[in-house]
Structure 1
Amino acid sequence: MTNAPLAIDLVPLFSHVTTWVFDLDNTLYPPEARLFDQIEVRMTDFVMEALGVGQEEANRLRHEYWRDHGTTLAGLMRLHGVEPGPYLDRVHEIDLTHLERDAALAEGIRALPGRKIVYTNGCAPYAERVVAARGLEGLFDAIYGVEHANFQPKPDRAAYDIVFGLDGLTPGAAAMFEDDARNLAAPHEMGLRTVHVAPEAAPAEHIHHHTDDLGAFLRRIV
C-alpha cells in the first residue's frame, strides 16, 4: 500500500501577492452555468446581420475570430470595422437568473489580503451583473472590461499592459485566475503567479497551478 502524496502548501507560494486578478466567465462561476450557450447564440446572430452571412458561416467565423484574434469582437473590428458598443450590448443581454450565489467563494475572496480586481474580455457592466448574481458584490476594488483595454482582448500582451497600468498593480506581486489557458501566457511572462481554473488541467510552462474548484483553492492560500 502506498501513501497518497501530500498536498502542496500554497501559502508560501502566494505570500508575496498583494493584487489578485480574476477573470469572469467560467472562472467566477462554473462552466455548468452555461452562460456562453446564450452568448454564442447572440454572437452568431450579430455576425449574421453585420456581415450578411448565413448561420453556418457566422458560426465558423465566430470561432475563427476567437481563435485568431482572441475574441470574436476583435476579429469583427479588425477585419470589418465593426463598432464594439452595439456588439457588447447585444451579446451580453442574457438571462442570469439561474446563477447561484456562492457563499464559500465569496468568503475565499474576502479573506485574500490586498487588492482584488476582475478583468474580463466582456464588458464591465456585464461583469458587474454576474458578480452581483454570484453574491460577490462589494468584494472587488475594480472591475475592468475589454473597453478599458481600448477593446484589445486577452491574450494580447498590449491588453494586459493597458489594464494593469490603469490599475497600478505590480506584476511581480500579483496572481491571476483564468479559465482560458492561453490567457495566462502574457501574465506569466510579466511575472504574475498563474492559476488555471478549469475542469481539466492543461499543463504548460506558463501555468503554475490548476484547480477545478476556485473557492477551495482560495481557502488553501490563506
Structure 2
Amino acid sequence: MHPRLRHIDTWIFDLDNTLYPAGADLFGEIVSRITDYVCRLEGCDRETAFAIQKRHFAEHGTTLSGLMAERAIDPHDFLAFVHDVDMDRLSPNDRLVEAIARLPGRKLVFTNGDAPYATRVLSRLGLHESFEAIHDIHATGYLPKPHAAAYDGLCKAWDIDPATALFVEDMARNLAPAKAIGMTTVWIDNGSEQVGVDAAHIDFVTTDLTAWLTDLWEDQ
C-alpha cells in the first residue's frame, strides 16, 4: 500500500463520473432529464429550464434541493423521473472490481443520487457486491454534498472516523468538507472543472480511478 494511505480503513466513493468514466456521459442524460422535469414543472422552454436548474445547483448543491426549497416537489417523483436512463453506456470494469476488492477495510458509496439508481449503476459495472452500503440523498435528509451536515451524517450513520477515511470524488468542491473533517481526499480530474479548483483540500489527483487504485500496490 502507498505509504501515505496505510492508515486508511474506510474507502468512500462518489458514484457518477467517479466509478465510471465521465466519457460515458450517463450523467449528461440525467442532466437532460432534469431539464425536462423543470420544463414540465415550470411550463417553460428548455433554455429557461436549464438556467433554473443551474441556479439551483449553484445555490443549493443540487437541482433537487433547490426545487424542494422553492417548489416543495416530491423528491421521490423527481428522482424516479431523472434517473430513468439507459445503462447501456456503461460497461463492466473487472479491473476496478479487483482494485476495490484489494483495498483493506470498509468501502461505501456516497452519492447525491438515490440508492435504487446507484444500485443499477453498480450492477452494470460489476460492483454490486463491492460496497458495504450506499449513503444516498434520502439518507442525508436531502442536504446534498457539499453541505457539511451531509458528511457529518455519513460518519455518524456508519461509525466512520474521518481521520482514517478516504473520499474519492470528481467534483473538487465536494472534497472541501471532507478535508475539513480530516478525510484524505482524491479528486478525479475529468476535465469538467477548469477554473476555481482549490488544491488546498485535495491530497491526490488522478484522471483514471482504476489505474490510481491499481498503482497503490505497485508504488512501493
The answer on whether the counterparts of 2:12 and 2:166 sit within 8 Å (CA) in structure 1 is yes
One-letter identity of the residue aligned with 1:210: V
Deviates more, 1:172-181 or 1:159-168: 159-168
The aligned runs of 1:177-188 (5 Å cut-off) are: 177-188=168-179
Measure, in 2, the Cα distance between the counterparts of 1:171 and 1:64. 31
Pairwise CA distance, 1:28: 0.2
Q: Is the 2:112–2:145 Cα contact (8 Å) retained in structure 1?
A: yes
Note the aligned Cα RMSD (angstroms). 1.3
Question: Could you report, residue by residue, the CA deviation over 1:1-43 in whole angstroms, capped at 9, with x for unpaired residues?
Answer: xxxxxxxxx7111100000000000000000100122111210
| Runs of at least 5 residues in structure 1 that lack an aligned partner in the other structure | 1-9
The one-letter code of the counterpart of 2:215 is R
1:135 corresponds, among 118, 126, 150, to: 126
Q: Which of residues 92, 95, 100 is equivalent to 1:104?
A: 95
2:44 is aligned to 53
Question: For 1:72-83, what aligned pairs fall within 5 Å after superposition?
Answer: 72-83=63-74
CA contact (8 A) 2:178 2:185 kept: yes
Aligned residue number for residue 202 of structure 2? 207
Give the structure 1 partner of residue 216 of structure 2: 221
Tell me the matched-pair count: 213
Moved over 6 A (4+): none
**What's the counterpart of residue 166 of structure 2?**
175
**TM-score w.r.t. structure 1 length?**
0.92
TM-score (norm 2): 0.93
The match for 2:75 among 80, 84, 87 is: 84
Q: Match for 1:11 among 2, 22, 25?
A: 2
Match of 2:113 in 1: 122
SS in 2 for 1:146: coil
Cα distance in structure 2, aligned partners of 1:79 and 1:27: 30
CA positional deviation for 1:203: 5.0
Per-residue CA distance 1:155-181 (angstroms, 9 max, x = gap) = 000111112211111100100000000
Query: Following the alignment from structure 2 to structure 1, what is the Cα–Cα distance between the partners of residues 89 and 202?
Result: 31
Q: Which residue of structure 2 lines up, in the alignment, with residue 5 of structure 1? A: none
Question: In 1, Cα distance between the equivalents of 2:127 and 2:27?
Answer: 20
Residue ranges of structure 2 left out of the alignment (5+ in a row) = none
Alignment deviations for residues 158-217 of structure 1 (CA, whole Å, 9 cap, x no partner): 111112211111100100000000000000000000000123484510011100110111
Structure 1 counterpart of 2:11, from 20, 34, 42? 20
Instruction: Give the secondary-structure state (helix, strand or coil) at the position aligned to 1:184.
Output: helix
Distance 1:41 1:23 in 2: 20
- C-alpha deviations, 1:51-88, integer Å up to 9, x for none? 22222110101111111111110110112211211000
Distance (Å, rounded) in 2 between the aligned partners of 1:219 and 1:99:
20
Paired letter, 1:120: T
